[in-house]
Amino acid sequence: MNVSFGISSDVGLVRTGNEDSFLAEEPLFVIADGMGGHVAGDVASSTAIDAIEENRNQANAEDPQTLAGLVHEANAAIWARATGDSSLQGMGTTCTLVYIDGPRAHVAHVGDSRAYRLRAGDLEQLTEDHTLVARMVKEGRIPAEEAERHPQRNIVTRVLGAASDVSVDLLAIDLNDGDRLLLCSDGLNSMVDRGDIEAVLERERDPQRAADALVELANEAGGEDNTTVLVIDVHEDERRGSASRRSQGPPPPPARVRTDRDPLARSRGRWLRPLTWTLLVIALLGGGGWAATRWALDNSWFVGVDESGKVAIYSGIPEEVGGIELREKKTTTDTALQDLPEFVRSDVVAGIKVESLEAAHEKVQDLDGLASEFARKSEPERGGQ
Ligand code: CA
């Protein structure tokens, strides 16, 4: 089989930098979507790509474990950097790797970036998202249609860099003449409907134009995240193959930033019911996913009330699960719940979910402002109490 490909990677319209990284060196194709805030996300994804590129000679299609091995090397490299530098703690990255071997392709995968195969007009998702929401769909707790808009859809449960080891999904698929593979970061599939992705891949025969068109669609839809798209065509006849590219090279350089992946979930805490969480946490623990769960909790934030009645910033989730507190207080403020206007108290008591520590500090400031305003307005009545 011959291969030609196109790549497009874009910061989008909201983020200040591009935390996605990629590698395209036939027959090896990789996408990594970094997270962990500002510099760290970029470091995570580019460290993964560097490690894979460095070790690529170990890849042997006869033994697909060697491909999982590349991902393990990437994990070890990120883990080593994260544990050696406190400013990089908590960074992580997805990693979706495709290795083309004649009429077959091997896929090694961790996280919520995706690999698809387009065959005869039909787009099939090859990889499973390692997210809380995908797990809930799989377990029948929510319908698949709810997943795309679910407030928790940004919580990734398996990433590189969260622990010293990681479990890597491995799969092999067959390739026919005319098949097209798509690798993408979630900036594409969170913004563009599957049907529209399929239509573009059908319409644009040139892989580079297809990749460009998909990124453009993501931006037209709001471009709320970084978007990276790799389109790989396999065909029996010989065509001029594309040169190898990687994200550090001259074309689209990667950058950073992607702490708040979910603009819909930015404002209010719409929490999963405690029972759902219990089941999820048990499922994750049962699946040996404690490090990932821990990681997910460390990267979830909310503003709530502490034991002294003061507004506080927490990492984790507000509910107790099976009697276990999945929260850690990070900062207490001087604002007391009593100082806040009635309409906002129940939200704070329930816990207001935010996307990052930075957003938590902003929320706390908002609340402090509300409290001052409330004090001014209600002074006469309160004076009599
Ligand atoms: Ca992303």
Write the pLDDT tens digit of every residue in 252-263: 443 333 333 333
Write the pLDDT tens digit of every residue in 86-136: 888 888 999 999 999 989 999 999 999 999 999 999 999 999 999 888 888
- Cα 35 to ligand 1 centroid, rounded to whole Å: 8
Q: What is the mean pLDDT of the chain?
A: 84
- Cα 164 to ligand 1 centroid, rounded to whole Å: 23
Residue 283: which pLDDT band, with cuts at 50, 70 and 90?
Answer: low
Give the torsion sign (CA, 156, 157, 163, 165).
negative
Q: Is the pLDDT of residue 198 over 70?
A: yes
* Closest alpha carbon to 7 in 239, 206, 202: 206
- Cα 151 to ligand 1 centroid, rounded to whole Å: 15
* Residue 292: predicted pLDDT: 61
Please list, in sequence order, all residues whose beta carbon lies within 8 angstroms of the beta carbon of residue 88, skipping any fewer than 6 positions away: 36, 39, 40, 43, 44, 81, 82
* Closest alpha carbon to 182 in 221, 222, 233, 134: 233
Q: Is the pLDDT of residue 218 over 90?
A: yes
Q: Is the pLDDT of residue 187 over 80?
A: yes
- Cα 258 to ligand 1 centroid, rounded to whole Å: 7
CA distances from 288 to 35, 65, 280 (A): 22, 20, 12
In angstroms, rounded to a whole number, what is the distance separating the alpha carbons of residues 329 and 306?
8
Question: What percent of the chain is modeled with pLDDT above 90?
Answer: 54
3-state DSSP: the chain helix, strand, coil percent, rounded to 5? 40, 30, 35
| Per-residue tokens: 142 | 């929510």
* Residue 201: predicted pLDDT: 98
In angstroms, rounded to a whole number, what is the distance separating the alpha carbons of residues 254 and 187?
14
Q: Is the pLDDT of residue 269 over 70?
A: no
* Closest alpha carbon to 330 in 285, 353, 298: 298
* Residue 324: predicted pLDDT: 61
In angstroms, rounded to a whole number, what is the distance separating the alpha carbons of residues 9 and 37?
19
Spacing of C-alpha 110 from chain mean position: 10
* Residue 239: predicted pLDDT: 65
Q: Are β-strands 92-93 and 95-101 bridged in parallel, bridged antiparallel, or unpaired?
A: unpaired
CB 177 within 8 A of CB 164: no
Question: Mean pLDDT across the stretch 352-379?
Answer: 87
- Cα 97 to ligand 1 centroid, rounded to whole Å: 16
Spacing of C-alpha 171 from chain mean position: 21
* Closest alpha carbon to 210 in 236, 171, 242, 253: 242
Q: Is the pLDDT of residue 176 over 50?
A: yes
- Cα 267 to ligand 1 centroid, rounded to whole Å: 19
∠ CA(8), CA(133), CA(92), 5° rounding?
55
Which residues on neighbouring strands pair with residue 331, listed in sequence order? 313
* Residue 111: predicted pLDDT: 95
Residue 353: which pLDDT band, with cuts at 50, 70 and 90?
Answer: confident
Question: Mean pLDDT across the stretch 260-279?
Answer: 36
- Cα 142 to ligand 1 centroid, rounded to whole Å: 23
- Cα 232 to ligand 1 centroid, rounded to whole Å: 20
Its pTM surpasses 0.75? no
* Residue 282: predicted pLDDT: 53
- Cα 143 to ligand 1 centroid, rounded to whole Å: 23
Q: Are β-strands 310-321 and 92-93 bridged in parallel, bridged antiparallel, or unpaired?
A: unpaired
In angstroms, rounded to a whole number, what is the distance separating the alpha carbons of residues 272 and 382?
36
- Does residue 271 or residue 127 have the better pLDDT? 127
In angstroms, rounded to a whole number, what is the distance separating the alpha carbons of residues 196 and 201?
9
Please list, in sequence order, all residues whose beta carbon lies within 8 angstroms of the beta carbon of residue 368, skipping any fewer than 6 positions away: 311, 333, 334, 335
* Residue 335: predicted pLDDT: 94
- Amino acid in the structure at residue 182: L
Spacing of C-alpha 285 from chain mean position: 21
- Amino acid in the structure at residue 57: N
Residue 149: which pLDDT band, with cuts at 50, 70 and 90?
Answer: confident
- At which residue do the structure tokens 């080593």 appear? 80
In angstroms, rounded to a whole number, what is the distance separating the alpha carbons of residues 124 and 375?
57
* Residue 37: predicted pLDDT: 67
